[in-house]
Structure 1
Amino acid sequence: MIKKTQSKVFMIVMLSLSIIIMSVIFVINIVNYNQSKQQSYMLIDNANGMLKQMTPFPVASPGNMDDMKKHQGMLYWKTAQFYFVIVKDGIIVQTVNENNEKYSNEEINKYALKVSNEDEKYGSVGNLVYGMKNIKGSKIITFMDNSKANKNLRHMLVLSLLIGLIALFFAYVISKKISLWIIKPIEDTFNKQKQFISDASHELKTPLAVICANADVLEGEIGNNKWLYYIQKEVSSMDKLVNSLLCLARVEKENDKEELSDFDMSKAVLGGTMVFESLAYEKEINLIDEIEKNITLKGNSEEIKQLLSILIDNGIKHTSKGNEVIVSLKKYKNNIILKVKNKGEPIPKDEEEKIFQRFYRSDESRNRDSKRYGLGLSIAKSIVEKHGGTIKAFCENGFTIFTVVFIKTS
């Protein structure tokens, strides 16, 4: 239980830190991208402003811009990465390309025709960003080579991701330490509680044994007596409670691996079922076994037998006369599935999880009369979890079904 709680705390802290780190990386890159885009559009606007001062363009045939080189101010564009295209009625009128080492006139014209049908004032195509203006029925499209800015954005993204990975590593370390720090008081309290239960149970066994012995002596001297009967009955009930508490404390010891070994679970379940045949017969209940042969499990065979005993006993107690209790064991893929089904009063939906809690009793008055303390299913759950399995209860088609799943280890 402690390890599961620690894992949950670790996952919550790690997930929170990861979300924060990835959000920061995302925001930084989005802001950087938007700033780069706005800067590119601003440069295009500046270029359009200078271009407006240079108009009207000298007359020149398309693709022949020798006259444009002589135009005042055009020397500015010889080293700049701008490209200007005038489009009218879907036809290229003029192309200004003073940087044709990277993009030829044909490429620029192709891009211009492609974007001239767009409604957006600004946009991008490949590594080029563009701005478009309508002047006297013509569209002046200004392209700017944005490959350097895009390269910088990619470098920024890679760098931020590397920093993010390093940050995630530190987040992992921090999450581990925080989860240990948070869980430490809980673990100490839980261990003290287990120690108290174990110590109290041991201390109670001695006076109970003395009371029981004295009651037997008195019974031998004075014969049958209803007061002695009540004493013996209550001592017997208390002795069962103490034994259950001791069993729970023993099962919940973690890392108790020395007792785990491979055993034939099919034989253990069959033998455990046969023990209850006489009890089921007395109560006129049909006890059915559906056990697949040669299923082995690595675990504590005695604890698995105790688990089965708890589930079958619970099934018989909650099954009415003439009905049946079915015990099944089968292997599915890499899982071993143990089921105990009984027909009887269904478990309320909101109590399907609660019944595995310590001292939980769904019907207080009935359980008090039958001297049941709500520890059996809690012990069963502890045994299952110790063996790395899961247990759940639910109702289906008139049956109450307890399902235990173990993962088969090689």
Structure 2
Amino acid sequence: MIKSLRKKFILVSMCSMLVVLLGIVGGILAAGYRRIAERADHVLQMLAENNGEFPFEDMERKPPEKPERTQKDFHLSPELPYETRYFSVIYDEEGTVLETKTGNIAAVQEADAENYGDAVWKKGKTKGFYGSYRYLIQKETEPMGIFVDCSRELDNFYVLLQASFLLSFLGSSMVLILVLFFSKRVFRPVAVSYEKQKQFITDAGHELKTPLTIIDANTEVLEMMEGENEWTVSIRKQVKRLTRLTQQMVALTRMEEGIGEEEMCILCLSQVIQEAAEPFCQVAENEGKSLSIFVEPRIQGKGNEMQLYQLVSLLLDNALKYSLPESSINLTFRKKGKRAELMISNETDMVPKGNLDILFERFYRTDASRNSETGGSGIGLSVARAIVQRHRGRIQASSSDGRHIAVTAIWER
């Protein structure tokens, strides 16, 4: 249990760290990419307003001072016309390329410029990226397409992208190592305390066996000497109840310790469930109740026969104890994909609607007085949950109307 809790702690810590890290890195990269696009759009707009050429005279003037500068303001350097690589294409009204201007770029020939122009016109968008070129299509006066080379900016962006992911991976690996190291030290006191608790339960279970056996034997001798009476009957009843509780606590502790995992084998699950459920038909009849059993035949799977037998016995015993007089209990066992599903339902007193998984907590009692009358220990459903978890499954209890309760166990076959 401590190992499982530690794994969950590590998983939650790493997932939280990765979400925050990806958010920060993603935000930085998105802002950088957006900045590249905005700067290219600013240059394209300037070129479009001047028929595909830079206004050299305006660029050489000193820009007026502004009281405030927003994020989208760009400083126009006099070197911008000389360091910007661009070309343009002229269209007719139908979108056919009439002319190309490639004098300001060496990497693109006229044929390439014509192909680029055709491709972006057919896309139907007025601006965007085509490869490493940011383009703008102007249709107001003379249709024109202008392309600005952003390869240098994009290369820098991709280098930043790769470095960010590499550093994130290395950082995550270092954090994982640190979390693994420190989580072991943090959980060590909890693990020691939990181990002592389990050892106490196991030792107490073994120590209680002898006095319980002696009490039972002495009660039997008293009955032989004095005859059976209400006091000896009460003693034997409480001894039986305490013996059962001790056995369940020891069994639960052994399952939580992982003892017996090697006892899993391939068996006929249908046969095990059927054989475990049939004896309860007579028990139900003696109590004036009915038990309906439906088991889908020939379901094969991996499991522990004794534990599955115990699972059915615990759930049916619980259903019989807490069902209403003259009511019906239903057991259904069937395949559900690659899993097996066992469902037991019964009519009971008023219970809350919805999820009732709190019933599987140790010593939980919905009605203490009634549990005392029926002899319930409050730990049987906890043992049932441990058995299902050992079979890599889950168990849940629910009520749809507040008068019927259904316990469903699903595990891998």
TM-score, with structure 1 as normaliser: 0.76
SS of the equivalent of 2:278 reads: helix
CA shift at 1:296, angstroms? 2.5
Cα 1:48/1:400, change in 2 over 3 Å:
same
Residue of structure 2 equivalent to 1:235: 239
Say if 2:255 is the partner of 1:251. Answer: yes
Cα 1:284/1:151, change in 2 over 3 Å:
same
Q: 1:358 aligns with which of 333, 357, 362?
A: 362
Say if 2:397 is the partner of 1:403. Answer: no
Say if 2:335 is the partner of 1:338. Answer: no
Residue of structure 2 equivalent to 1:265: 269
Cα 1:311/1:95, change in 2 over 3 Å:
closer
CA shift at 1:327, angstroms? 1.7
Give per-residue Cα distances to partners, 1:345-371, cap 9 Å, x unaligned.
354247611100000111111112333
Residue of structure 1 equivalent to 2:151: 147
Cα 1:351/1:234, change in 2 over 3 Å:
farther
Q: Distance in 2 between matches of 1:53 and 1:26?
A: 35
Q: Distance in 2 between matches of 1:345 and 1:211?
A: 36
Structure 1 residues 1-400: aligned runs within 5 Å: 1-33=1-33, 36=36, 50-52=56-58, 81=85, 98-103=103-108, 107=113, 126=130, 127-128=132-133, 144-254=148-258, 256-345=260-349, 347-349=351-353, 352-396=356-400, 399-400=404-405
Cα 1:376/1:125, change in 2 over 3 Å:
closer
Q: Distance in 2 between matches of 1:78 and 1:190?
A: 73
Q: Distance in 2 between matches of 1:30 and 1:395?
A: 49
**Aligned-partner residue type, residue 410 of structure 2:** V
Q: Distance in 1 between matches of 2:304 and 2:365?
A: 28
Give per-residue Cα distances to partners, 1:296-334, cap 9 Å, x unaligned.
332221111111001111111222333221222111221
**Aligned-partner residue type, residue 375 of structure 1:** I
Q: Distance in 2 between matches of 1:15 and 1:36?
A: 31
Q: Distance in 2 between matches of 1:278 and 1:308?
A: 15
SS of the equivalent of 2:261 reads: coil
CA shift at 1:43, angstroms? 7.8
CA shift at 1:37, angstroms? 5.4
Deviates more, 1:305-314 or 1:144-153: 144-153
CA shift at 1:256, angstroms? 2.8
Question: Percent identity at matched positions?
Answer: 26
Equivalent pairs counted in the alignment come to: 379
Cα 1:220/1:39, change in 2 over 3 Å:
same
Q: Distance in 1 between matches of 2:370 and 2:309?
A: 27
Q: Distance in 2 between matches of 1:317 and 1:255?
A: 30
Contact 2:354 2:399 in 1 (8 A): no
CA shift at 1:2, angstroms? 3.4
CA shift at 1:405, angstroms? 0.9
Which runs of 5 or more structure 2 residues have no equivalent in the other structure?
Answer: 48-52, 62-77, 91-98
**Aligned-partner residue type, residue 28 of structure 1:** I
Cα 1:99/1:305, change in 2 over 3 Å:
same
Give per-residue Cα distances to partners, 1:238-266, cap 9 Å, x unaligned.
22222222222233231532322222222
Cα 1:357/1:20, change in 2 over 3 Å:
same
SS of the equivalent of 1:10 reads: helix
**Aligned-partner residue type, residue 11 of structure 2:** M
Cα 1:169/1:321, change in 2 over 3 Å:
same
Q: Distance in 1 between matches of 2:247 and 2:128?
A: 78
Which runs of 5 or more structure 1 residues have no equivalent in the other structure?
Answer: 56-73, 87-93
Contact 1:265 1:297 in 2 (8 A): yes
SS of the equivalent of 1:276 reads: helix
Q: Distance in 2 between matches of 1:213 and 1:48?
A: 109
**Aligned-partner residue type, residue 15 of structure 1:** C
Give per-residue Cα distances to partners, 1:244-289, cap 9 Å, x unaligned.
2222223323153232222222222111112112211111212121
**Aligned-partner residue type, residue 29 of structure 1:** L
Give per-residue Cα distances to partners, 1:22-57, cap 9 Å, x unaligned.
1232233234335545766888889956333789xx
CA shift at 1:197, angstroms? 1.0
Cα RMSD of the aligned pairs, angstroms, is 4.2
Cα 1:101/1:308, change in 2 over 3 Å:
same
Deviates more, 1:217-226 or 1:77-86: 77-86
The structure with more radius of gyration: 1
Contact 2:89 2:145 in 1 (8 A): yes
Cα 1:294/1:105, change in 2 over 3 Å:
closer
Cα 1:52/1:185, change in 2 over 3 Å:
same
Contact 1:265 1:295 in 2 (8 A): yes
